[in-house]
Amino acid sequence: MKINKSLFFVFMVLISLCLVSAVSAAENATDSIEVQAVENVDESISVESDVVEEPTLAVDDSAADSSLGVNFTFGSKGGNGTKFDFSNITFDFGNGTSFDLGSLLNGTTLSFGNGTSFNFTDLFNSNMTFGNGTSFNLTQIMNMTGNGTGSFDISSIIGMLGGSKITFNATDIEKVYSGKTTFKVKVLDGDKPAAQQTVVFTVDNKDYVGRTDENGTATVSLDLAAGTHYVYTEYNNVIGKNKIVIKKAASKITAKPKAFKSKTKTKKYDVFLKNNQGKAIKNVKVTLKINGKTFTAKTNSNGKATFNIKNLTKKGKHTAKITFAGNGYYKASSASKTITIK
């Protein structure tokens, strides 16, 4: 995203003027204005002149420079006019803020009553620091691109205008998968918790709505597969970013050797699939291979998979290989057991 420097400069000036003007107006406002009539006013006004000269306004910019040195001449045609230089005009808002127009572009540092000050010459090449301790780099904003190398916290501008800076206190998470992940963030509006407020979490292009408690903490429960995920927390048009890294958990197949009678048509064989914490892995497919044939089964809520082995009548010992291929949450695992046909 590219921003026109001149437009941004004008924008910053207008914001500053509006801010200090509003503060000054609020401090000096009165409840009433009394107007008194003037008695014995002579209602007749006469002008005696044979020639009325047309007043003129001339602008002398021959000596104009970057300090706004533009001279205006007031007078009449053919007469001697009065001149004054706009660069000498000083604005004093009565609240600790003042500056002259000549200083606006010549590099002089401007100071505002709320502790904010900056130099327009340095503005485009360095960090701009506000009275509330926040700062940003304008050059970085100018060169920011789509997924960009720069970042800009709009709450810095909000803070300069008298609003509070929004901050998020949260910790990045790195863990082995063990079910749903709980992510917590504390939202501060200035130095106070943003209590009982709506917060939007965005993870993997999916939105989750949370609510802060009396301490400003919002919680969301996320079912995240293995990989790197970014959590974007949004409140009051300010966005925070955190990272959650999920690693695949180990899986383990538990099975026992078993013997079947040859005449049994369908031989039921049970195996169990559990995670690294010994908890059941449910609703996943497990395969069994024996004598070149493959059988499949799905684990239930207890992690048990039951294979229905058919057409296995040859007496003797047979090796059965049980395999779980793994998924987005668990690593693959396998086991080999002996099945005896009598």
Q: Are β-strands 206-211 and 198-203 bridged in parallel, bridged antiparallel, or unpaired?
A: antiparallel
Check residue 62 and give left, alpha or beta (phi > 0: left; psi -120 to 50: alpha): alpha
Same structural domain, 256 and 123: no
How far apart, in whole angstroms, are the C-alpha atoms of residue 219 and residue 185? 7
- Report how many helices (DSSP H) and strands (DSSP E) the chain contains, helices first: 4, 26
CATH, residue 219: 2.60.40.10
pLDDT of residue 118: 57
Residue 153 in any domain: the answer is no
71/136 same-domain check:
yes
Of the candidates 222, 247, 272, which is a domain's last residue? 247
Maximal C-alpha separation, the chain: 139
Question: How much is the pLDDT for 165?
Answer: 86
**Within a domain: residue 69?**
yes
My answer on whether 192 and 142 are in the same domain is: no
Task: Answer yes or no: do 85 and 200 share one domain.
Answer: no
User: Which range of residues forms the domain containing residue 255?
Assistant: 251-341
| Same-domain pairing of 111 and 173 | no
230, 173 in Cβ contact below 8 A?
A: no
The verdict on 133 and 257 lying in the same domain is no
Q: What distances in angstroms separate CA 213 from CA 194, 199, 263, one per listed residue?
A: 8, 11, 66
CA dihedral 98, 102, 103, 107 (to 10 degrees): 170
Cα–Cα distance, 327 to 296 (Å, whole number): 16
Do 226 and 315 fall into the same domain?
A: no
Is residue 281 a part of any domain in this protein?
yes
- Same structural domain for residues 68 and 82? yes
Residues of the chain with pLDDT under 50: 1-7, 10, 19-49, 51-52, 54-74, 76-77, 142-152, 161-162
> CA 323 → CA 121, 272, 331, distances in Å?
69, 11, 11
Q: Are residue 20 and residue 65 in the same domain, yes or no?
A: yes
At 199 the pLDDT is 97
End residue of a domain, out of 115, 148, 181 = 148
User: Phi, psi at residue 23, to the nearest 5°?
Assistant: -65, -45
β-bridge pairing 258-260 and 251-254: unpaired
- Tell me, yes or no, whether 35 lies in a domain: no
**SS3 call for 225:** coil
**3-state class (DSSP) for residue 333:** strand
Q: What pLDDT is stored for residue 277 in this prediction?
A: 92
DSSP character at residue 8: H
* Pair (179, 143) in one structural domain: no
Total domain count, the chain = 3
Element (H, E) at 188: strand 181-189
* Residue 135 covered by a domain: yes
CA distance 74 to 167: 55
Residues 215, 177 share a domain: yes
Whether 319 is covered by a domain: the verdict is yes
pLDDT of residue 103: 61
pLDDT at residue 278, as a whole number:
93
38 domain residue, yes or no: no
Contact, 251 vs 178, CB < 8 A?
Answer: no
CA atoms within 13 A on the CB side of 177: 22
Confirm whether 82 is domain-assigned: yes
Q: Are residues 13 and 99 in the same domain?
A: yes
Q: Give which of 230, 201, 234, 16 is closest to 123, Cα–Cα.
A: 16
Give the chain's radius of gyration (CA, Å). Answer: 39
Residue 226: what pLDDT?
96
